[in-house]
A and B are shown apart, each in its own frame.
Chain A
Amino acid sequence: MTASLADVPRLLAVAISAAALGAGALTLLVTRRPSLALAVLLDLLLAAGLLRLGSDPGWQAIAVAAALVGLRRVIGAGLRVGGRSWARAPSAPGPGRSSRADLRQLLTPTWRR
């Protein structure tokens, strides 16, 4: 009984991780903003990591939580510096714009444009 109770947060953490992937994908599809989708994904993944850290405070869970915190900071800083989106592209000529141009726009660093 005790073991099964201890497993509940772990199972819920897995469920929330799956929900994070779903919410991130939905956000990307709807808004076409990778930065926002990534933020949504990381927020829910962080909730899952905190649950896992509460149920099993071993070194691996600690390392995963620390990595998540660091990743959130690094990715957040990177996205704030070079924020861009599929929705608003300054060089968009019109409706005939290809997805290849979208991809190039996303992958080109801001300082090279």
Chain B
Amino acid sequence: MEELLVDVVNVLVVLVEACAAAVIIIGAVWAFALFVWVGIRRRDAGAFVPVRLMLGRFLVLGLEFQLASDVLRTAVAPSFRELGQLAAVAAIRTALNYFLSKEIAEERRQVAEEGEDDRREAGPPSGTAGRGRTS
């Protein structure tokens, strides 16, 4: 019975980790393509920020999956050495998740403030928008 549980948990861990890897890979490849496109076509520093925000969101989602697999793995970790490694990995991922979420919120706030400034500088009578950045 216990062996069956270990087998089931191991399969689930592999599945959840595959999901995490897929999310991170898709995010990284998409972000790289967008970085190249923005660098070649738009050549504007402000255009890089939304791409970084998008990559950050993908990384946070991948981290959530990885944390889920860590939680699953604790059910079948047989030795203290493995438990120690698991605790270290989970601590790093939790800290990273926290910092990434804070960075995303901070950058989003900065983008909103810059958009506000652009609108204020453009002024109501002229009606011409600034750079028109979206997050």
A interface list, Cβ under 8 A from B: 9, 12, 16, 19, 22-23, 26-27, 29-31, 33, 36, 39-40, 43-44, 46-48, 50-51, 53-55, 57-59, 62, 65-66, 69, 72-73, 76, 87
Contacts and interface: CB of A to CB of B under 8 A. Distances in A.
Contacts of B92: 53, 62, 65-66, 69
B52 A39 contact: yes
B52 A31 contact: no
B122 to A, nearest CB: 20
Interface of B: 17, 20-21, 24-25, 27-29, 31-32, 35-36, 39-40, 43-45, 48, 52, 55-56, 58-59, 62-63, 66, 69, 85-86, 88-89, 92-93, 95-96, 99, 103
Contacts of A43: 31, 52, 55-56, 59
Nearest to A35: B45
Given A23-B35, A36-B45, A69-B96, A54 B66 contact: yes
Nearest to B49: A36
Given A26-B35, A36-B45, A36-B48, A48 B103 contact: no
B9 to A, nearest CB: 16
Given A16-B28, A19-B32, A47-B27, A54 B52 contact: no
Given A51-B25, A54-B66, A62-B85, A72 B99 contact: yes
List the 5 shortest-distance A-B pairs measured between CB atoms, nearest first: A47-B28, A31-B45, A23-B35, A26-B39, A30-B39
A89 B60 CA distance: 35
A22 B89 CA distance: 28
Contacts of A58: 85
Nearest to A72: B99
B96 A27 contact: no
A59 B52 contact: no
Contact of B89 (A29, A39, A51, A57): A57
